Amino acid sequence: MLNHVKGPKSYEDIRRVNGTLYDTYREACYAYGLIGDDKEYIDAIEEASEWASGFYLRNLFATLLLSGTLSMPSRVWEATWSLLADDILHRQRNILQNRGLELTDEELKNYALIDIEASLQLNGSSLARFEGMPLPDTSSTTHHANTMVMDELSYDKESLQAEHASQLSSMTDEQTTVYNEIMEAIASNQGGVFFVYGYGGTGKTFIWRTLCATLRSKGEIVLPVASSGIAATLIPGGRTAHARLGIPINLTENSTCP
């Protein structure tokens, strides 16, 4: 690098290429063109994606890592991750039997990295050995095995945002006060128990529906429960407390159904 950098006065000057300061000398070498740009490997993955599955491409990427031929594995990953994760959404929908399941880009990347890491470990290696490569977060995917949680995360956030805006503008001052107090408790992570009292038709259910729409539109999980089946059906995703929480009903010979 000293043969390509004119008059460096510090180590930072050596890592600066066309005004950009790179974190490592390897990245600077890459920018100078002193090491391969890995374009042929990116092209190979893109060409293979026309006929190969995502599963095959992830194994191909793991093989390239093991061969040591990639100059900057992280650059190849960033250029091709969408191809490597191409079949993951379909796979997860089948696993969870949830055709409406949606995954963010970060979640797709994480699943792809988990598969690549598994392939590397079968060959006595790991992503941790390759500079700049992100590592999978296995803890963030555990909730995807929970069907109840995934049902809560599969709501259409855009339609819920529109529903929330419409309902919030229709609230009375009293309803808005209740809504704001509960939302402030949630935002501050304090939680709490709130008892809302009112005669039938005063808009209690409207508050619950607005709260559910607000939180679900942000990707939060809401588990509304009610004491009766009729009340539970008035709230989207509502269930009776006995069904949702598994509260046992102890029947005796004297039990009656009111």
Tens of pLDDT, residue by residue, the chain (258 residues): 666 666 777 777 777 777 777 777 667 766 666 555 677 788 889 999 999 889 899 999 999 898 887 878 888 899 899 999 999 989 888 877 777 888 889 989 999 999 999 888 878 889 999 988 999 887 765 545 555 666 676 677 888 888 888 888 888 888 899 889 989 988 888 878 888 888 888 888 888 888 888 888 888 888 888 877 777 788 888 888 777 777 777 777 777 765
- 235 in a structural domain: no
Buried b (16+ CB within 10 A) or exposed e, 140-179: eeeebeeeeebebbbbeeeebeebbeebeeebeeebeebb
Boundary-marking domain end, from 88, 113, 145: 145
135 and 216 assigned to the same domain: no
Residue type at 166 in one-letter notation: S
- Per-residue model confidence (pLDDT) at position 146: 57
> Is residue 110 in some structural domain?
yes
Residues 78 and 118 in one domain: yes
For 16, the enclosing helix (H) or strand (E) is strand 16-17
- Dihedral, CA atoms, 125, 131, 134, 138, nearest 10 degrees? 30
Biggest CA–CA distance in the chain, Å, is 95
Asked if 50 and 106 sit in the same domain, the reply is yes
Question: Residue 237's CB: how many other CB atoms inside 10 A?
Answer: 15
Q: Are residues 25 and 67 in the same domain?
A: no
8 A C-beta contact, residue 207 and residue 218: no
Q: Are residues 21 and 87 in the same domain?
A: no
In a domain, 240, yes or no: no
Tokens of 252: 């005796």
- Examine the domain organization and report whether 130 and 169 are in the same domain: no
Does the residue 139 lie in any domain?
A: yes
Host domain of residue 212:
157-222
- How far is Cα of residue 200 from the mean position of the Cα atoms in its chain? 40
Number of separate domains in the chain: 3
Give which of 53, 68, 67, 71 is closest to 115, Cα–Cα.
53
Q: Cβ neighbours of residue 14 under 8 Å, at least 6 residues apart?
A: 1, 2, 5, 8, 25, 28
133 and 166 in a single domain? The answer is no
Same domain, 140 and 164: no
In a domain, 168, yes or no: yes
| Residue 236 lies inside a defined structural domain of this protein | no
Q: Are 51 and 100 members of one domain?
A: yes
Regarding whether 48 and 28 lie in a shared domain, the answer is no
Which runs of consecutive H residues, i.e. helices, occur in the chain? 11-14, 25-32, 39-48, 54-67, 73-84, 88-96, 105-122, 147-153, 157-169, 173-187, 204-217, 229-233, 241-245
| pLDDT given at position 85 | 93
Same domain, 60 and 111: yes
**Shared domain check, 70 and 136:** yes
The pLDDT score that the predictor gives to residue 227 is: 79
141 occurs within a structural domain: yes
- CA-atom Rg of the chain in angstroms: 27
Using N-to-C axis directions, what is the helix angle for 105-122 and 54-67, rounded to 10°? 50
Cβ atoms 74, 30 nearer than 8 A? no
pLDDT number for residue 34: 56
Residue 238: inside a domain, yes or no?
no
